[in-house]
Each structure stands twice: as structure tokens, then as C-alpha cells.
Structure 1
Amino acid sequence: MIHTLRVGSPGSRVIRHSGPGGLRFPAFTGSGFHIVLHGTCWLVSEDEEPVALEPGDVVLTTCGTEHGLSRTPCALAELPPVVMGPFPPAPGPFDFEFLCGSYRLDHGRVPQYLRTLPGLIVVSGRPGRHPELQALVALLRRDTTGTGMGAGATRPALQDLILVHALRRWHEQHDDAAPWPTTGDPGVDAALRAMHQNPGRQWTVAQLGDLAGMSRTAFSRRFAGVVGQPPKGYLIRCRLAHGARLLRETDATLATIARRIGYSTEFAFSSAFRREYGTSPSHFRVGGRPARRNGI
């Protein structure tokens, strides 16, 4: 998941707010987080009740869901949109201050793993609970607001670590240790498990339906309703995510990786990979990413 997000454009920024109201963050393609540094505020969303936040709390925006941070509980539509850009924090007194980090994906999609999680996740990071996370936040804040040598190189790495630690804390709280998504539907979960355990197999929808104990048509309808996309589309993204891990974690050739994840040729794998991630497998392997854009 981290390797996939690194294809995007990472950025971080400290924001301060004073007075009533707050700020609204429009939906975007990517993932990000907010960390409350000082003061108290409320997480506001379209469909859920406002959530009170205190210093140290982390809000994960898993799939770029529209949301807001406000001095008091309110409707999301009441908040003005934040002005995007690499601006320094506002001077003078403030009611609350928070650190933002984001991965904006100019190409491709948010990793499937993140799309299976709630759109907004709150992780308590209050003093004394998670010292490692607090240390990482302090380092990112220092690099985000400073101009020291090497700050531009360390910020993406610190964002990665903060995201990993925050997700780890959330999974610990929810006792979710499965290495693949689970839906609560036994038939769909059996098919998901099979695809993730053996992404290179030439699965057919009928075979997956048999594992789920359903007909091909009934399984396709159930899977799309529960997961949000057809079985074949999910399998393709599962294969490509596995291929992305092999590119970064092994020295296997493109042809070898293609065969391992179910593609008959290196060309077919490269074409599918470029459509999904917006870059070639070779460029992805060496850590390349599209040109960075301004923004938080």
C-alpha cells in the first residue's frame, strides 16, 4: 500500500485556525492525514456525527473523502474550503493547530486495501499512549516548518512512517489481523481469500462463484454489491498490487513477475500496470513518480 501511494505526490503543511467555524477539505484522489497539535476541534463529515479531537489525535483520510475540521460541531456545508498550496502557518494567536500530510495520486487509484477501510479513521495519539508516533509527528512538524538541509528528502519518509503507525494502532483497536479485506459475507470472503492467496491463478468468475457457493450470476451480483466493483476488476487490481510489491521487494525480472501474477507476457503486464498506476513497471521499481504538484 505504501509503495503504491509513493507513486503520487506527497506533501505536508501546518495549518492554524482562529475564530468560529473551521475549514473544509474537498474530496481528492489519494490519501492523507491530520494530526491535532494544539487546541481542540471537531472532525465534521457528510454522513457521520461530529467527532471531538484533542492534541495528538490523528485523522486518516483513507480515500480522499470530503471532510472538515471545525472549532465547534456544525454541518460540513457551513465550512469554507481550505486554500490549497504550500503556505506557511498563519501568524498570531490561534484556536487550534494541526499538521496535514497527503499523497495526491495524479494517476491510478487509491490502493484496494485503503478502499476497504472507513473513509475517515480517528486514532487517539494522546500523550503517553504512542511515543513512537509522537516522535514521528514532532520530526515531520519540524521538517515541514523548517528549511534545513535534507528536509525535502525526509518528509515523504516521515509521512510513510506516520501512516504505517496510525494504521497499526487502528488495527490493534479493531483486532483486524487479516492480510486481505473481509466483508462479513462468508461467500465473498472465501473468494477474496482465494484471490489474495493465489493472484497468479487464471481465476474465472464461475470458479470463484463455486468457492462462494453461488452461481456465476448470483456471485457477480453479490460481490459487486459488497465490494463495490466486479470480481474481474478486483482480481486485476489485486494482481497488479502484488506485482508492485514484487517490483520493489525483489530482483525478479518483469517477465518473471508477469508470469507469477497471471500475465502471459511482459508487455501485457506493463500495459496493465501503466493503466493502473500511471507509470511503467521499470520506473516504479526505481522509485520514480509523476512530477510533483503544489498542495498540502
Structure 2
Amino acid sequence: MDVLSDVISTVRTGQPHSARIEWHAPYATRFPEIPGAKFLVVLQGSTWLLTHGEQRLQLGPGDVLFLPRGREHSLSSSPETEGAVDCAGALRHQSDIATAAAGEAVPTLVCSRGYARPKDVPTTFGATTIGDSGDGEPTCVTVGGSYHASASRPHPLLAELPSVVHLPAKVGRRSELPLAVGLLGRELGTNRPGGDTLIPHLLDMLVVYILRTYLEEIRESGDNPGCGFAGALRDPGVHAAVQAVHRDPAHPWSVAELGERAGLSRAAFSRRFTALVGQSPLAYVTWWRLTTAARLLREEDAPISSVATRVGYSSQFAFANAFKREFGRSPGRYREASAESDAAQSSPGQEAPVAGTTPSRR
């Protein structure tokens, strides 16, 4: 895979969540910080993003938000609205969404001061209404979602992004972003066969388009030229070296060989790589090997010795020591903890606060 795809597939942990929400003014709902990333897209109408009194941003149709570190935020029908209700305490079921027939619109949730979630209803994907819907049209419709990720191991590309990335509609129109948003919004709005398989892939696609659009906008605007990991992806030599490491983490890479891939001397390559990526070439090789190992441990049942070999460790003992230094637990215990976390996230009644969503259907 290419580097940007690797960033998404490897750093993400657990089950993604997403929902389509119809908002009816007045409303003010607070979404807590999560260990991961959030996104929000306005399909129609407008809403206000409020972040700890630091930022008040009005969002309109086609606007996209990306919060790479899962920052706490509120969505409100007014910039002056106070007393936002926590998303986990603001929703109650109005109908049994688990019994929606295939192809039918997913029944909704309605915001109130009370909260009572039936224990047998999963909470991964769905459609939601917030506010007193009555017979009126919603004042805003959004699609939002979240990825849980390792807060202690953000990829440099995500770590250097601002806490709130805003892509106005005029930016998104130049990319495939609106098409991805439309597909996800329609899929979340109906209970159709295959949705459980399709929606996670649509989420991956949408986040890739968000990041791609942001990076292209930075490059074209001239902001932050040549700096950070985004700059590394624009530097032909460093990008070639990073790509080589991602494609074959098991290879016994040396700084000299990576420099050859970049078309630079050993010393020149090391200086440029460190300046852009923020760590030395071999430190990044180790980081990527162990990050890849963590993904393999989460997603596969392969023996730990096999995982060690696939990421460049000839000794299972050396791999276990390196892994424990990085993650604070042995590979075996990490795999067990990841399985327990996944089971907890996918069990009925588990809350999954995301960017402007509290999901309602799996």
C-alpha cells in the first residue's frame, strides 16, 4: 500500500462508528474527547461548531471537519447557546431500529433530557434525529464518524495536523469528497443488506479523501511548504525512502541503502529525513515495524514468531522485548487486550461518541 493508505489502516484500532443525523433547532450537544479521530460533513442546512470557547465556526452545506485527535466539541443551532447536553445523556430510542426491514429508512432517535437505550440494540452505524422533530424539516443534516486509534502512537502525519481541520465546500468540490459523502450518507440512511461490510470501507474512503484534499490544499496554497511529514510526502527522495520502508518493513534497512533510494548521500539523506519526519531514518524504521506488528496482532491469529519475522525480527525474544518497550506489554498480552476491547466496542449497549453522532445501528 501507499503511505497514506498505511496511515489509515495501521493506526486505526477497534470498530469505526458513523451516523447520519437530522438536527432540529434549538439544540446544543456536546461530544467528548476520544482516543482517535473524528469527522463531520454537513449535507444540508447549517450548524455551529463550538470548542471550549476557543472557536466558534459556522458550517454550511458541503463543509467538512476533521478532528485528528478526537477533540471535545459541541454542535449547536446558535453560537450563543449554553448548557450543551452530553451526547450520551441526550438520546433516547423512539422506535426499535433493530427491526427495520431491509431497504427501509432506519427509524430515528430523538434528543431529550432523559436517556434510555435498550440493551439489545447495537451502536455502530445508523441514523439519528436530534431535537424536537415534530412535523418540520430538519434545520441541519450531517454525516459524522469516528476512528478509535492509539493515542500514544499517532502517525507523524496525523500528529502534526491542527486539532480542527476545516475544509470549506469550495475546496471539497474539486475532489471526489462529495461523492464519498453522498455514498456514506445514503448507506447510513437505510437498512440494506451488506451495510455492515460496506460502511467501514466507505469510512476508510472518506477519511482518505479528507486527508488527500487537505494535503493538496496545503500544497497549492503554499502554506507550511516543505515542513513536517506532509513535506516528506512531497519530497521525492524522502517519499521514496518512506515508501520502501512501508512496502517491506522486514528488510534490514540501513541509512546508506535508504539514501540510495532517495538519490542522496548517507549524510544528506539523514539530515533531510530527520528534519522532515521528526526522527532519524532508523528510528522511523523501528517505529513502523512495531506499528505494523501491532496491526497484525490485532487483525490476525498468526503465531507471534511469524509476526516477528514479517516485521524484520529474526528472534522472537528480541521482538518481544522491543514490542514491550514500545507498548508497555508483551505481544501476547497486547493481542488479548485488543480482542477484549473490540468485543466491548461491538457488544450491545456500548456508547460510541463521535463527531456529531451517537451511532444507532450496526
| TM-score, normalised relative to structure 2 | 0.56
1:181 equivalent to 2:244? Answer: no
Secondary structure (helix, strand or coil) at the match of 1:181 reads: helix
**In structure 2, what residue type is equivalent to 1:7?**
T
Contact between 1:30 and 1:109, CA under 8 Å: does it hold in 2?
Answer: no
In 1, distance between residues paired with 2:157 and 2:37?
12
In 1, distance between residues paired with 2:208 and 2:53?
26
Match of 1:41 among 41, 47, 62: 47
| Alignment match, 1:258 | 311
Change (3 A) 1:163 1:105: same
**In structure 1, what residue type is equivalent to 2:128?**
P
| TM-score, normalised relative to structure 1 | 0.67
Structure with bigger RCO (C-alpha 8 Å, 6+ apart):
2
Change (3 A) 1:41 1:24: same
Deviation at residue 266 of structure 1 after TM alignment: 3.4
1:56 equivalent to 2:104? Answer: no
Deviation at residue 120 of structure 1 after TM alignment: 1.2
In 1, distance between residues paired with 2:45 and 2:308?
54
Contact between 1:9 and 1:106, CA under 8 Å: does it hold in 2?
Answer: no
- Structure 1, unaligned runs of 5 or more: 184-191, 213-218, 220-226
Alignment of 1:60-209 (within 5 A): 60-74=66-80, 78-83=83-88, 85=123, 88-90=127-129, 91-92=133-134, 93=136, 94-105=138-149, 109-125=153-169, 129-130=173-174, 132-175=176-219, 181=229
In 2, distance between residues paired with 1:169 and 1:66?
24
Change (3 A) 1:107 1:78: same
Change (3 A) 1:45 1:241: same
Contact between 1:23 and 1:82, CA under 8 Å: does it hold in 2?
Answer: yes
RMSD after superposition: 4.8
| Larger Rg computed on CA atoms | 2
Deviation at residue 23 of structure 1 after TM alignment: 1.7
Q: What is the aligned residue count?
A: 264
1:14 equivalent to 2:20? Answer: yes
In 2, distance between residues paired with 1:179 and 1:244?
28
Deviation at residue 172 of structure 1 after TM alignment: 1.0
In 2, distance between residues paired with 1:13 and 1:33?
11
In 1, distance between residues paired with 2:176 and 2:184?
13
Bigger mean CA offset, 100-109 vs 131-140: 100-109
Contact between 2:36 and 2:151, CA under 8 Å: does it hold in 1?
Answer: no
Deviation at residue 49 of structure 1 after TM alignment: 2.7
Contact between 2:10 and 2:292, CA under 8 Å: does it hold in 1?
Answer: no
Deviation at residue 73 of structure 1 after TM alignment: 2.0
- Structure 2, unaligned runs of 5 or more: 1-6, 90-122, 232-237, 256-266, 300-305, 353-358
In 2, distance between residues paired with 1:138 and 1:242?
32
